[in-house]
Amino acid sequence: MRSLERVFNKIKQENPLWSDYICFVKTVKGRKFSRQTIGQYFNRLVDKEEYVKKDKKTLLKQLSELAQGDKKRLRTTNFMGKLAIREVFNRFLM
């Protein structure tokens, strides 16, 4: 799975102002990586200061859903029950 790391590094190099997390989102989006693979590379590539530790499980779940594409719907947890996060990701990453 070194290709995930290569793609991440390429995106990071092309977009130096983006955070590690946003680069990682762009890397996994629609590429059908397993939840385990996403977790391993998330730990390796995303700076721990970019997210709150208690939110990590939710972030990994959302990344896993995003990686699967339209098959699963990306949901927010406590943000008025809307699919707002998908909208934000799609607008930012397009």
Write out the DSSP string of 22-38: HHHHHHHTTS---HHHH
pLDDT means over runs of 10, the chain (94 residues): 88 95 94 93 94 91 88 50 56 59
Residue-range domain boundaries for the chain = 2-93
Query: Residue 74: what pLDDT?
Result: 47
Query: Residue 12: what pLDDT?
Result: 96
Query: Residue 23: what pLDDT?
Result: 95
Q: Which two tokens stand for residue 8?
A: 């991440």
Q: What is the pLDDT of residues 61-77, one digit of tens each?
A: 999 999 988 654 545 45
